[in-house]
Structure 1
């Protein structure tokens, strides 16, 4: 049996994800309402990983993660530009759902497809042991990466960021920072929670700068 190198393993897995049609051909519930277009950015060297929800309509069209106003805000939060953000040597992006899940009756995005997490996520993160910091955006990513340690609500979870950050830093697991979604729909949340920009973002930007400088 031929053993794959780390780079080859990531490439094989990434290609398999991009070719995935499980949510159309063997869905757990109603099939994906359109052709799959999985979006992710994997790496054998990146020390930073972003784990969010799922692509929206703009990302589904572009095929590139965070090509929307949410991406602009997220990059601002991180203190980096597109040159770093889209460099797979520096940063991985593994959303909880790889394809745009479709819209609900009110015009909002449906939850990430559950098939993605069950089939791919454990394998992808096992293949990227060099990751040192994971930004978990939204409740689905936080539920996966924080497990039983996750607080009741998204606000409570993000408010407890220091606890997660310190506890993950004591183990051989990556550091974890929970974040709200950078959507402009969360403007009111940011106004109600000024500690996020005053306390959490400086730590986030310091960690990003530290890890990028080590590349």
Structure 2
């Protein structure tokens, strides 16, 4: 999916703050969720890196801060950044496909992101992040939304061919510890994709 034009006029800082406030106040799904919505987002017009993940889990729902869980530890390790850099909104925006924790299924796994969220907010906020030069598409949901027909048949094939989506996009598997078996089965990810990711991060942050 084409990235919104960087040449168009963006929102003023106060308007961008209002956009974030509107997201955090969103209650569109409230009647269909088992708990009070708590949208979680991190963004600034100056960010050069955008992370589009899945949706908050239970720990993130409790903290109100993105990736405050083992998945976040793994993602920061993949990127080669510490918490200070990761949580610097001026550098890194974090805009998940679903802003609220969607609840758990009968097995105790997180449900998919609510379908109402992405059409309502994704393009609106991404279109105002004019300085973003790299979007990390973390997991299948974000890859389907942002890559559309460019996505390969499977997430594994999409991640394997990550270089083909550059320089704007870099698809990644979800860093959940549930994917540890996938990482063991696909050693090329650590050998080839992580060095590519870290080089891009270094180029953009230094």
TM-score (normalised: structure 1): 0.89
Q: State the alpha-carbon separation in 2 of the partners of residues 211 and 179 from structure 1.
A: 18
3-state SS of 1:123 partner: helix
Quick check: 1:135–1:178 contact (8 Å CA) kept in 2? yes
**Which residue is 1:15 aligned to?**
21
Which range moved further: 37-46 or 156-165? 156-165
Residue 4 of structure 1 deviates from its aligned partner by 8.2
Structure 1 residues 105 and 10, CA gap change in structure 2 (3 angstroms): same
Q: State the alpha-carbon separation in 2 of the partners of residues 104 and 152 from structure 1.
A: 26
3-state SS of 1:128 partner: coil
Runs of 5+ in structure 1 lacking a partner? 26-30, 170-174
Structure 1 residues 145 and 4, CA gap change in structure 2 (3 angstroms): closer
1:38-84 deviation per Cα after TM superposition (whole angstroms, max 9, x unaligned): 00101110100100000000000000000001100100000000000
Matched, 1:160 2:167: no
* Aligned residue-pair number: 198
Residue 7 of structure 1 deviates from its aligned partner by 1.7
Residue 18 of structure 1 deviates from its aligned partner by 0.2
Q: Which runs of structure 2 are paired with 1:1-215 in the superposition (5 Å)? A: 5-25=11-31, 31-165=32-166, 169=167, 175-213=168-206
3-state SS of 2:20 partner: helix
Residue 139 of structure 1 deviates from its aligned partner by 0.7
**Which residue is 2:6 aligned to?**
none
Runs of 5+ in structure 2 lacking a partner? 1-8
Quick check: 1:37–1:60 contact (8 Å CA) kept in 2? yes
- Structure 1 runs of 4+ off > 4 angstroms? none
Q: State the alpha-carbon separation in 2 of the partners of residues 42 and 198 from structure 1.
A: 30
Structure 1 residues 78 and 4, CA gap change in structure 2 (3 angstroms): closer
Q: State the alpha-carbon separation in 2 of the partners of residues 63 and 134 from structure 1.
A: 22
3-state SS of 1:22 partner: coil
